[in-house]
Amino acid sequence: MKAVKSVLDFLRTGGVEYIFGIPAGSVNAFFDELYEMPEIKPIVTKHEGAASYMAASYAKYSKSLGVCIASSGPGATNLITGAANAMREHLPVLFLTGAVPVNTEGLNASQELDADPIFKPVTKYSVTVRDSSQLLEEVAKAVEIALSGVPGPVHVAMPIDVQLETVDEMVLPAFPKREVYVPEASIIQDAARIMVESKGGGYVFIGQGIRGSVELLVELAELLEWPIVSTPQAKGFIPTDHPLNAGVFGFAGHESASELINDGAGSTLLVIGSSLGETATNNWNSNLAKERKVIQIDFDESVFNRKYEVNYPIHGDVNVSLEMLIGELHRLGLERTGSEWNSKKSTRVNEEYNTQNVLLKLQEYLPKTNRYTIDIGEFMSYVIHYMKVLDSDTFDINVHFGAMGSGLSAAFGSALAESERPVACITGDGCFFMHGMEVLTAKEYNLPILFVVMNNARLGMVYHGHSLQYKRSHPSFEQEPVNISKMAEAFGIPSARVESLEDINLELLSSLQGNKGPAVLEIALVDNNVPPMGDRVKFLSSFGK
């Protein structure tokens, strides 16, 4: 059989259902084998970059391996941003790229590129396979690396001739499964004791690493009766109305959370599933750990003591670490008594046609279970600051790596991995003009995604940030307005254009979400209010002084 078939047979044993990418000469052999393998469905996108984000999002929500494929040369380079994004988010994605035949290397073959070293800095493993007898072995090795330890992306380049060469029938290696990281019992005991003895209590500071462990997290917080502070990426896990929800700290965060971190009497900070990066800590605010004992739970031990001294690093999976901590706190006599602390958050409501009110109005009419995948732009800060958390895992906010257009593709991963859950992408015209053609991909695969496009005919985040930092803005940050709903109409996709707050109603949203495929809702709005960006501009302005 062809060497490339063994790769697909192996992926099939691991339950791989979708492969995202674009066919091309250097990977045609791979796609040809899919004719005989209906269990694996190719999702052919409009751009390889979008395919890379889709594969990462699918890995996140399916809790399995994502697979993405592209041609040699430009197809491979178009995947690099998605690989870097997956690396930052610890998502296991197998990136497969074609390569020119081995005997043509160095001869300026069509689309020739040595992609291996380019992928190395943004993956856990990258290799070019030049011997067909080693192709399956290398792919299996890469998948094991992707899924083991701290998950992440891997890359295998497959020369055309290597894919097509005949190999003997082989025994397929067992598809790897990730082993659970169990923390040391002694560090759990020490951390629990510190939490019980904390003067003035403490704070639970959560990142997106708590995905899948929210019930345990809430149980722990209620045992301790400590407020829960979320990072921007963790918005969506703790219901807005939970009495211990202190709001978001960091980029576009809440005053309630800032007051606790900056002026609160809590003597202990329990960090769970956050690497304590720039956007999570409000530009590495020193008050976060000042005069506090810091306990940090993470499966990635490299996050400990990066910027803040960690007194009790708990190296283990979040789920098992929380179970052990809760058990130890019970042993020390703690019981849930009901949570009374409340941050007293309030949302100002008026009838002005602005971004804040548009988002709240949308949420009023969309299903409570709707997941929102949020792109990068001015609107993102309003989502973080104002939108409510009504159900579990509500928001997909990738402010960490911040790739424009990634939110559009994240909706695909959610829709394919959890088809029963409605999904809406909130994006902007800038992001849409980068990756908006993927609405056609959604149409072709009948994916019921609602694409909400905030159209202000400018790069809004850049415009406001530049204006605040330099007191002026370049005319090129704005553009001639484009009617995006008309574009969608030309694609044969249901669409509507909103030009006032009154235009948003239940009838409109029901008609757009009642389709078997995607719909586009364009919000034509230039909002000159300053977005709630927190201290981001102050941080940027601090350089050069």
The reply to whether CATH 3.40.50.970 applies to domain 3-164 is: yes
CA 478 distance to own-chain centroid? 28
Looking at the chain, the domain(s) classified CATH 3.40.50.1220 span 185-331
- Taking Cα atoms as reference points, which of 319, 338, 326, 336 lies closest to residue 191? 326
| Residues 51 and 406: beta-carbon distance below 8 Å | no
Q: Which residue has the higher pLDDT, 186 or 171?
A: 186
**Residue 347 in this model has a pLDDT that exceeds 60:** no
Q: Which residues pair with 473 in a beta bridge?
A: none
**DSSP helix/strand/coil, 374:** strand
Alpha carbons 134 and 328: distance in angstroms, whole number = 48
Strand order through the sheet with 125-128: 41-44, 18-21, 66-70, 93-99, 154-159, 125-128
Q: Which residue has the higher pLDDT, 215 or 170?
A: 215
Instruction: Give the pLDDT score at 472.
Output: 65
- In angstroms, what CA-CA distances link 109 with 30, 69, 165, 286? 20, 20, 19, 54
Instruction: Give the pLDDT score at 329.
Output: 96
- Taking Cα atoms as reference points, which of 118, 117, 120, 57 lies closest to residue 93? 57
Which region among 193-197, 271-275, 342-346, 416-420 has the lowest average model confidence (pLDDT)?
Answer: 342-346
Digit-coded pLDDT (tens) for 314-340: 999 999 999 999 999 999 999 887 656
Q: What is the number of helices (H) and of strands (E) in the chain?
A: 20, 18
Both structure tokens of 235: 């918005």
- Taking Cα atoms as reference points, which of 282, 278, 272 lies closest to residue 248? 282
Please give the average per-residue pLDDT across 497-504, as a whole number. Answer: 96
Burial status of residue 161 (CB atoms within 10 A of its CB: 0-12, 13-18, 19 or more): middle
- Taking Cα atoms as reference points, which of 433, 428, 501 lies closest to residue 461? 428
Alpha carbons 13 and 27: distance in angstroms, whole number = 21
Percent of the chain whose pLDDT exceeds 90: 81
Q: Which residue has the higher pLDDT, 346 or 65?
A: 65
Looking at residue 74, the DSSP 8-state letter turns out to be H
Alpha helices in 445-542 (DSSP H): 460-470, 484-490, 506-513, 536-541
Both structure tokens of 219: 């149980």
In b/e form, how buried is each residue of 177-195, taking b as 16+ CB within 10 angstroms? ebeebebeeebbebbbebb
Q: Which residue has the higher pLDDT, 346 or 43?
A: 43
How many alpha carbons fall within 13 Å on the CB side of residue 450?
27
Level-2 CATH architecture, domain 355-537? 3-Layer(aba) Sandwich (3.40)
Alpha carbons 545 and 532: distance in angstroms, whole number = 24
Instruction: Give the pLDDT score at 537.
Output: 47
Which region among 134-143, 339-348, 536-545 has the lowest average model confidence (pLDDT)?
Answer: 536-545
Digit-coded pLDDT (tens) for 360-396: 999 999 999 999 999 998 899 999 999 999 999 999 9
Looking at the chain, the domain(s) classified CATH 3.40.50.970 span 3-164, 355-537
In b/e form, how buried is each residue of 463-473, taking b as 16+ CB within 10 angstroms? bbbbebeeeeb
**Residue 461 in this model has a pLDDT that exceeds 70:** no
Q: Over the chain, what is the mean pLDDT?
A: 92
Both structure tokens of 109: 């073959």
Alpha carbons 448 and 530: distance in angstroms, whole number = 33
Please give the average per-residue pLDDT across 53-66, as a whole number. Answer: 97
Instruction: Give the pLDDT score at 543.
Output: 45
Percent of the chain whose pLDDT exceeds 70: 92
**Residue 540 in this model has a pLDDT that exceeds 80:** no
Instruction: Give the pLDDT score at 515.
Output: 80
Going by pLDDT thresholds of 50, 70 and 90, the confidence category of residue 171 is confident
Alpha carbons 355 and 535: distance in angstroms, whole number = 20
Using the Cα atoms of residue 208, residue 210, residue 214 and residue 220 in order, give the sign of their dihedral.
negative
Instruction: Give the pLDDT score at 542.
Output: 45
Please give the average per-residue pLDDT across 478-507, as a whole number. Answer: 93
Going by pLDDT thresholds of 50, 70 and 90, the confidence category of residue 458 is low
Digit-coded pLDDT (tens) for 1-34: 899 999 999 999 999 999 999 999 999 999 999 9
The reply to whether CATH 2.30.110.10 applies to domain 185-331 is: no
Instruction: Give the pLDDT score at 15.
Output: 96
Please give the average per-residue pLDDT across 502-510, as a whole number. Answer: 95
Tokens 């495929």 correspond to: 517
Please give the average per-residue pLDDT across 125-147, as a whole number. Answer: 97
Alpha helices in 21-159 (DSSP H): 28-34, 48-62, 74-89, 116-119, 135-147
Which long-range CB contacts under 8 A does 337-341 form with residues at least 24 apart? 337/225, 338/222, 339/221, 339/222, 339/225, 339/242, 339/243, 339/244, 340/225, 340/243, 341/225, 341/227, 341/243, 341/244
User: Does pTM surpass 0.85?
Assistant: yes
